[in-house]
């Protein structure tokens, strides 16, 4: 947690650049970062260049060039690119809650952990039961006398061989894809051709 915070702090410092009052303010959200003094500066610039679109556009372009004047080290750019995943935009801030709310949050979190544990243990129990059932069935088969004059365990041996069960030299169709808990999103690809 603290590590994340430190990285957050680092990223915040890295990404913090002195903001220049760029006249290209297309969104209202951008305005929130500006102080009234800056706005007054915009007004004056807008007034001196009149309402002429061409002149204003020229001014915009020059202003942009001016702000771009300070060159960034390519190493720095590369680093920033890779630190982008740590930027405060990507990492949410830590949860800040009052006491009661934190206690409620904690209660819910504990209940969720408990619920997950129960689910997991139930699943494990089912699997174990199924495995043991299969094991007991096989054991019973191994100890039983075969049909007619066959020796003890004949049926077990034949069943384990599984000769021809999946077709001639076949393998179970389940092996066609990795075994998962839930079915695949497309259960069968009917268009598949060799």
Partner 1 sequence: MSRCQQVARPLVRSLRPCPSAAAAASQSSHTTLAVRYLSSTAARRDLDKTTTTQPGSDALDAALLGQSAAAAPQDTPQTRQQLAALGSADLGSRRRRAALATTGDIPFEQLPYQCFQEARKILNQDREEKIAKIVAETEKIKRLEAADASTMRGGEAYKQKRLVSLREHVEELKILADINDPEVKRRFENGTGDMSKPIYRYLANRRWRSMDHKIVVQRIEQFNIVPDLLPRFEPTMDVKMSFRGYTVSPGAVLDSRLTEVAPTLRMQVFDKGERLLTIVVLDSDVPDEATDGYARRCHFLAANVPWDPSKNLLSLRQVGGGGGELAVPWLPAFAQKGAPYHRLSLFVLEQKAGETLDGAKLKALYGGRDGFSLKSFRDKFGLTPVGFNLFRSEWDEGTAAVMEKHGIPGADVEFKRARVVSMKTPRAAKGWEAKRQGPKYKSLWKYTKRIKGARFERN
Would you say 173 and 164 are in contact if contact means Cβ atoms under 8 Å apart? no
Give the residue from 158, 130, 131 showing the smallest Cα distance to 144.
158
Q: How far apart are CA 19 and CA 21, in angstroms?
A: 6
Which x/- pattern, by CB under 8 A, does the window 62-101 give for partner 1?
-------------------------------------xx-
Which residue number, 110 or 123, has a Cβ lying nearer to partner 1? 110
Which range of residues in 35-43, 76-84, 151-159, 171-179 is near partner 1 by CB under 8 A? Answer: 35-43
Q: How far apart are CA 34 and CA 19, in angstroms?
A: 9
Which x/- pattern, by CB under 8 A, does the window 134-163 give for partner 1?
------------------------------
Q: How far apart are CA 129 and CA 125, in angstroms?
A: 6
The overall longest dimension of the chain from CA atoms, in Å, is 112
Which residue number, 25 or 144, has a Cβ lying nearer to partner 1? 25
- Selected from 19, 20, 90, 112, the binder of partner 1 by CB under 8 A is 112
Q: How far apart are CA 100 and CA 194, in angstroms?
A: 63
For the CB of residue 118, give the shortest distance to partner 1 in the complex, in Å: 8
Would you say 12 and 89 are in contact if contact means Cβ atoms under 8 Å apart? no
Map the footprint of partner 1 across residues 3-32, applying CB under 8 A.
25, 28, 31-32
Q: If binding is defined by CB under 8 A, does position 108 make contact with partner 1?
A: yes
Calculate the CA 19 to chain-centre distance: 32
Calculate the CA 35 to chain-centre distance: 38
Q: If binding is defined by CB under 8 A, does position 116 make contact with partner 1?
A: no
For the CB of residue 10, give the shortest distance to partner 1 in the complex, in Å: 21
Which residue number, 45 or 87, has a Cβ lying nearer to partner 1? 45
Residues 6+ apart with CB under 8 A from 19: 33
Binding site for partner 1 (CB under 8 A): 25, 28, 31-32, 34-36, 39, 42-43, 46-47, 99-100, 103-104, 106-108, 110-112, 114-115
């Amino acid at each position: 947690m603290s590590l994340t915070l430190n990285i957050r702090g680092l990223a915040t410092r890295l990404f913090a650049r002195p903001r220049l009052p760029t006249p290209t303010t297309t969104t209202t959200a951008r305005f929130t970062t500006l102080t009234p003094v800056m706005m007054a500066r915009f007004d004056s610039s807008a007034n001196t260049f009149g309402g002429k679109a061409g002149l204003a556009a020229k001014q915009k372009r020059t202003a942009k060039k001016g702000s771009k004047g300070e060159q960034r080290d390519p190493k720095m750019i590369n680093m920033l690119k890779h630190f982008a995943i740590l930027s405060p935009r990507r990492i949410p801030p830590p949860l800040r809650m009052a006491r009661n709310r934190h206690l409620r949050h904690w209660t819910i979190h504990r209940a969720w952990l408990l619920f997950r544990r129960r689910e997991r243990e139930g699943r494990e129990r089912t699997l174990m039961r199924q495995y043991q059932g299969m094991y007991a069935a096989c054991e019973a088969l191994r100890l039983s006398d075969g049909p007619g004059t066959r020796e003890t365990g004949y049926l077990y041996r034949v069943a384990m061989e599984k000769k021809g069960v999946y077709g001639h030299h076949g393998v179970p169709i389940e092996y066609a894809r990795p075994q998962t808990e839930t079915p695949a999103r497309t259960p069968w690809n009917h268009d598949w051709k060799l």
